[in-house]
Structure 1
């Protein structure tokens, strides 16, 4: 009897021990799960707070940029619009007082200026509207607490305003006689280092610059080299004020680079030539055919594929040369080369401070 009681007690104690162990294991598991969940919740809360802070900082930055742009527009646009409208009204009055049939050339010039003034007035009105739109959207976003989508919409409108302001201010700075025209830019490799690679980089830089402005640089001529670079390239920028923007690029561009981190540095150079590309009618500069030397590639060079139907024209009195090889025929390349030559001669006359007629004097008189 005693042994049975002892055996029962042992079984009972064993069951109790087993139950206690299971309860402890369950408590430990629940505690770990709770701790893990609490840790995850804390981590999520921290991330939400961090994202909220980042978002608020982003909104503050957007709001500051929008306010600066709107303030700039409010300071500049009304006065600029008043001046441009006065200029347009004056030109309209000039047309009413002038007999357009007396001098067709003068009439075309007046009408072209009037069209430009009307375009500027419309752009300034659009600028004012976009600035008011950005300001109103910002105010609505503040009323609706914080609305990221509205701030983004206002920011996009402010970018348009800033771009229009930059274009207007630049148009007022570019007052040269040909600054409003398009531009033809010619890049040629120098003779040191790796100039062909440098020409390729410059070509990419200029085309990306035009794309950033919302325009396109048309590569019409490109002569590749054997090392993967470019010997020469010609780009045409057919948008207003392209020459004004790019005229300062004329000259020799240098770059110093090292190969594989070595101490030896190589200098590469490339020459850049920029001249106006007339967007309307071509300039009526008259050039005597006897003052021109036209050079065509030899038949052997064309058969060997060394060159296409290129044309090179030299103006004897000034020794100025222009080439063209982007067209499919010699005749088309000759026309384009003559137009480029005219652009170079006009810029030469402007730089020398002489009249266009003086371009036909002997080179020694310059």
Structure 2
């Protein structure tokens, strides 16, 4: 890739050139991380031999803590090694849609949006809001976020499905318990991948004026864009950018990501069919419940992993849930 980047004609196709440099940067960072980890392990081993030889218990106790930290780092990196899907290393496009439950569901969708933004922030990743439709009274009807980070899609694919909230509704004067639902969708950002081609005759592009909460138009010009992909029936829209051109580019990015995920679903279904496994045509089943009343619990129904630390989870501490799902996904073919 470095040789490719050094060619005189490298920048003749800027979009592809940027994608190459992005991939190259990620690979270099991955190699640096493993080399640094290897160096740390060697240093600890040498110090441990020295401490044992001299009977330095204080140093041995300090090294024990360092070894524990190294083991945790290796454990987390092991999941990245297991992420061998074609798009696992890519950035991710995450979409949240309010489901059944009215205003409560729209408020729940906004809580999930904040949870994922906090999760990305904790990892030091960039999260760019591509599209958001506010609710009439509170919360959001939907939102789409681009999460940029190594293995972003590999981790976030664990979040696909319906998320259920049980709580005392802040919007109910009678203070009754309500159940709300929101759908989380995740697609890989494939950039300028030549594998996914969108033909102009296969799409219908519509423009409209972007709106604010309550449906009021916030711009006089039709800058928002909606794209319908005729062969698949997929519809995407974007209204967060300032210009129609920017919104069109973002909408096409989301469409490409959804088409790539559709192809990956077909591939998985074909493999499962060859194995004789049952594949459900429905992919939006409830995956996780967040209970705030009458007790506090977050439980993933696929892995049975659970915690009573609801506030921490809603503040972005999701790694344990994601890793439990990934561990199960890796172990499943071997069982």
TM range (shorter): 0.5 to 0.7
Provide the C-alpha distance between the structure 2 equivalents of 1:114 and 1:207, rounded to a whole number of angstroms.
Answer: 26
Q: Which of 152, 167, 171 does residue 242 from structure 1 map onto?
A: 152
Q: Please list every run of 5 or more consecutive structure 2 residues that lacks an aligned counterpart in the other structure.
A: 4-8, 269-335
Measure how far apart 1:315 and its partner are. 0.5
Measure how far apart 1:345 and its partner are. 1.1
Contact 2:109/2:139 (<8 A) preserved: yes
Provide the C-alpha distance between the structure 2 equivalents of 1:110 and 1:348, rounded to a whole number of angstroms.
Answer: 24
TM-score, normalised on structure 2? 0.60
Q: Deviations over 1:268-319 (max 9, x none)?
A: 111111111136x444522221211112115999983279722111111110
Aligned position for 1:258: 168
Using CA pairs below 8 Å that are at least 6 residues apart, which structure has the higher relative contact order?
2
Provide the C-alpha distance between the structure 1 equivalents of 2:46 and 2:86, rounded to a whole number of angstroms.
Answer: 41
Contact 1:181/1:278 (<8 A) preserved: yes
Aligned position for 1:77: none
**What is the SS of the residue equivalent to 2:87?**
coil
Aligned position for 1:363: none
Measure how far apart 1:334 and its partner are. 0.7
- Cα separation, partners in 2 of 1:178 and 1:140, compared to 1, 3 Å: same
Provide the C-alpha distance between the structure 2 equivalents of 1:285 and 1:240, rounded to a whole number of angstroms.
Answer: 22
Aligned position for 1:131: 41
1:328 equivalent to 2:238? Answer no
Structure 1 or 2: more strand by fraction? 2
Where does 1:74-153 land on structure 2 (aligned, <5 Å)? 120-134=30-44, 146=58, 151=62
Task: Choose 1 or 2 for highest CA Rg.
Answer: 1
Q: Which of 190, 201, 206 does residue 278 from structure 1 map onto?
A: 190
Provide the C-alpha distance between the structure 1 equivalents of 2:206 and 2:216, rounded to a whole number of angstroms.
Answer: 17
Q: Deviations over 1:195-237 (max 9, x none)?
A: 1211121112212222333323333433333544222222211
**What is the SS of the residue equivalent to 2:208?**
coil
- Cα separation, partners in 2 of 1:346 and 1:167, compared to 1, 3 Å: same
Provide the C-alpha distance between the structure 2 equivalents of 1:230 and 1:143, rounded to a whole number of angstroms.
Answer: 62
Provide the C-alpha distance between the structure 2 equivalents of 1:114 and 1:184, rounded to a whole number of angstroms.
Answer: 21
Aligned position for 2:233: 319
- Cα separation, partners in 2 of 1:283 and 1:222, compared to 1, 3 Å: same
Contact 1:133/1:154 (<8 A) preserved: no
Aligned position for 2:256: 342
Aligned residue pair count: 249
Provide the C-alpha distance between the structure 2 equivalents of 1:303 and 1:189, rounded to a whole number of angstroms.
Answer: 19
Q: Which of 217, 241, 245 does residue 304 from structure 1 map onto?
A: 217
Measure how far apart 1:115 and its partner are. 8.0
Q: Please list every run of 5 or more consecutive structure 1 residues that lacks an aligned counterpart in the other structure.
A: 1-90, 96-100, 355-366
Aligned position for 1:293: 204
Provide the C-alpha distance between the structure 2 equivalents of 1:135 and 1:239, rounded to a whole number of angstroms.
Answer: 32
- Cα separation, partners in 2 of 1:162 and 1:201, compared to 1, 3 Å: farther
* Superposed CA RMSD: 4.3
TM-score, normalised on structure 1? 0.55
Q: Which of 89, 96, 113 does residue 180 from structure 1 map onto?
A: 89
Contact 1:123/1:164 (<8 A) preserved: no
